[in-house]
Structure 1
Amino acid sequence: MISLPIDDALFNYRVAGVAILNGKVLLHKTPSDNFWSLPGGRAELFEFSKDTLVREMEEETGMNVQVGEMLWVSENFFRYNDKKHHEIGFYFKMNIPDLTSQDDFLGAEGQEELLFKWIDVNELTTVPVYPEFLAEELARNPLETKHFTSDFRDLDAM
Structure 2
Amino acid sequence: MREMIVWRNEGKRFQCRAAGVAIHQGRVLVHKEKGQSHCSLPGGRVEWGESIVDALRREMQEELCVEVTVERLGWIIENFFTFEGEAYHEIGFYYLMRLPGDTPFLDEAAPFSMAETHLLFRWAPLSQLENEAFYPICLREGIRELRDGVVHFIERENQIIQRC
Tell me, yes or no, whether TM beats 0.5. Answer: yes
Unaligned runs of at least 5 residues, structure 1: 153-158
Q: Secondary structure at the match of 1:56?
A: helix
Q: Which residue of 2 aligns with 1:3?
A: 6
TM-score (norm 1): 0.88
Runs of 4+ in 1 over 6 A off after TM superposition: none
What pairs up with 1:135-150 in 2 under 5 angstroms?
135-142=140-147, 145-150=150-155
TM-score (norm 2): 0.85
CA distance in 1, matches of 2:118, 2:114: 6
Aligned partner of 2:71 among 59, 68, 71? 68
Q: Which residue of 1 aligns with 2:162?
A: none
Residue 141 to residue 5, structure 1, CA distance change in 2 (3 Å)? closer
> Does 1:122 pair with 2:124?
no
Identical columns (%): 39
> Deviation at 1:13?
0.4
| 8 Å Cα contact 1:25-1:120 kept in structure 2 | yes
The C-alpha deviation readout for 1:115-145, integer Å capped at 9, x for no partner, is 0000110010121110110111112155662
The C-alpha deviation readout for 1:51-86, integer Å capped at 9, x for no partner, is 000000111111111111100000000011111100
- Aligned residue pairs, count: 150
Q: CA RMSD in A?
A: 1.6
Unaligned runs of at least 5 residues, structure 2: 158-164
Residue 48 to residue 106, structure 1, CA distance change in 2 (3 Å)? same
CA distance in 2, matches of 1:141, 1:77: 23
CA distance in 1, matches of 2:149, 2:84: 31
Q: Secondary structure at the match of 2:114?
A: strand
